[in-house]
Structure 1
Amino acid sequence: MIRGYIRTDKTEHTKEDQMEELRAANCETFRVDEGISRRSFLKPGLDGLMQEAVAGDVLVFCSLDRVAEYQRDIAEFFVKCQVLGVDVVVLREGLNTLENPGVFQVMAAFVGFARGLDDERRALAIEKAKRKQGRPSKLSEEQQLEAVEMKASGKTISQIAATFSVSRATIYSLLEPKTKKLDAFANIPRDELREIMFGKREQD
C-alpha cells in the first residue's frame, strides 16, 4: 500500500498543496498532522502512519522537513522504516528507496556515526567531571587543618605552601571553597574546625 503523510505548521493555512502532490504519487491513504511544528516530537499522524505500516508498504512525503527538522532525526526515521521493511519516497528531494535502496545504508551509517559521537562526548563529560572533583589532597587532614588556621591568622598562600612543601595551586584548591568562611575559622578549637571541615571529631 502507498501511504501519504501531510504536516502543516501554524503558518500554513492549508494542506491541499501537499494533498495534491501525494495524490499524484498514487497515495491510497493519508495521515495528517495540522498546525504542528517540524521541531515537535509529538506528531500523532506520523506515529499513526508508522503503526499502520507493514512490510512492503511505501511511505510518501512531499519533503524531508515534513518528517523532522534535524538531519539525525530524519536519518533515524529512515532506519526505523528499514527495520519495518517499508520504503520511503520523498518527492521534492527525489529520494526513493525503491529505486535506490542504498539510501538506507547511508542513513544507517550517519546514525551510527552520530551515536559514536554521543558516546565520545559522554565519555569526555564523565572524565571532565572526575577531574573536576579533584585529585586526592597532598596534605593530611592535620596539615589541611593547620593550613586553614594559618590562612585565617593572616599567613600568605606562599608562606603556607612553603611550610608544607607543596605548590601554591594545592593550597588554593584547599582554601578556595572556604575563602568566605576563613574569618569564622580564626581562633576556634582544632577539634571544632575538624568537625566543620571533615564532619568528624578526633577520637579520644
Structure 2
Amino acid sequence: MTVKHLIGYARVSTSDQDTSIQQAKLKAAGCATVRAEKASGRSRDGRSELEAVLDFIRPGDTLVVVKLDRLGRSTRDVLNLVHELEQKGASLRVLEPEIDTSGPMGKMILTVLGMVAEMEVGFIRERQRAGIDAAKAEGAYKGRPVTIDHDKIVELRREGKGATDIARIVGCGRGNVYKVLKAAGID
C-alpha cells in the first residue's frame, strides 16, 4: 500500500514578510512536510522550494497551500502547476477558500478563482496608476529619486570612457549608462 502525503507550501513575496502563520495552518491541516520560501509569485523562477516539492511529490500526494495566490499570480501559471500535479497523479488543496482539485468541481472552481484573482491584480494596478497620475497632475509625485550622477556619466563619456568603465566608476548598470547618454543626446 502506498502512503499518501500532504505536502505544504508557504510563500511570501518579500524578505520582511514571514511564513510562520501559513506554516502553522498547513501543519494544522495535516501536512507533515512544509516547504517555505521568500520569492515573488510572478513566475516560478527562483522558487527552489516549489521546485523541490514538485520533484518530490508522488502519485496520491496532495500539495496544500493556504491561499491560491501563494502558488502564483497568473491563472495560467496556477493551472499549469495543477496540470503538472495531475500528470504526476497528485492534486492541489487550497485551505482558504477550501478547494480540492482531485475532483472536477474543484478544478472548475480553481479556474474561476484564478481568473478573479488575476483580474483583481489588474484592478489594483489600474487604481495605482490612476493615483500616481492624479498625484503627478497636482505636482505631489515626482517619481523615484535619482540615485546616479547623470552629469558624471556624461563627463566620463566625453572623456572617452566606455559604458562598462562608466558603470563601474559610477556604481550602476550599463543599461543605466545607456539610458542617461540617450537622454542627454549622446551616443
* Closer, same or farther: CA 40–76 of 1 in aligned 2, 3 Å: closer
What percent of counterpart residues are identical? 26
Listed as ranges, the matches of 1:9-88 within 5 Å are: 9-10=13-14, 12-34=16-38, 36-42=39-45, 43-88=47-92
Listed as ranges, the matches of 1:1-204 within 5 Å are: 1-10=5-14, 12-34=16-38, 36-42=39-45, 43-98=47-102, 100-104=103-107
Match of 2:82, as an amino acid?
Answer: F
Match of 1:55, as an amino acid?
Answer: P
* Closer, same or farther: CA 79–105 of 1 in aligned 2, 3 Å: farther
Contact 1:53-1:86 within 8 A present in 2 as well: yes
Residues 109-161 of structure 1 deviation map (CA, whole Å, 9 limit, x = unaligned): xxxxxxxxxxxxxxxxxxxxxxxxxxxxxxxxxxxxxxxxxxxxxxxxxxxxx
Match of 1:3, as an amino acid?
Answer: I
Runs of 4+ in 1 over 6 A off after TM superposition: 105-108
* Closer, same or farther: CA 72–30 of 1 in aligned 2, 3 Å: same
Give 5+ residue unaligned stretches, structure 2. 112-187
Match of 1:20, as an amino acid?
Answer: A
Match of 1:75, as an amino acid?
Answer: L
Give 5+ residue unaligned stretches, structure 1. 109-204
**Between structures 1 and 2, the one with greater helix share:** 1
Match of 1:60, SS state, is strand
**CA deviation after TM superposition for structure 1 residue 104, in Å:** 3.8
Residues 150-175 of structure 1 deviation map (CA, whole Å, 9 limit, x = unaligned): xxxxxxxxxxxxxxxxxxxxxxxxxx
Between structure 1 and structure 2, the one with the greater Rg is 1
> In the aligned structure 2, how far is the partner of 1:62 from the partner of 1:9?
15
How many correspondences in the alignment? 106
**CA deviation after TM superposition for structure 1 residue 12, in Å:** 4.7
> In the aligned structure 2, how far is the partner of 1:54 from the partner of 1:25?
19
Match of 2:10, SS state, is strand
> In the aligned structure 2, how far is the partner of 1:55 from the partner of 1:22?
20
Match of 2:40, SS state, is coil
* Closer, same or farther: CA 65–106 of 1 in aligned 2, 3 Å: closer
**CA deviation after TM superposition for structure 1 residue 106, in Å:** 7.4
* Closer, same or farther: CA 82–17 of 1 in aligned 2, 3 Å: same
Contact 1:3-1:27 within 8 A present in 2 as well: yes
Q: TM (normalized to structure 1)?
A: 0.48
Q: Which residue of 1 aligns with 2:116?
A: none
Contact 1:79-1:107 within 8 A present in 2 as well: no
Match of 2:85, SS state, is helix
Match of 2:93, as an amino acid?
Answer: V
**CA deviation after TM superposition for structure 1 residue 79, in Å:** 1.0
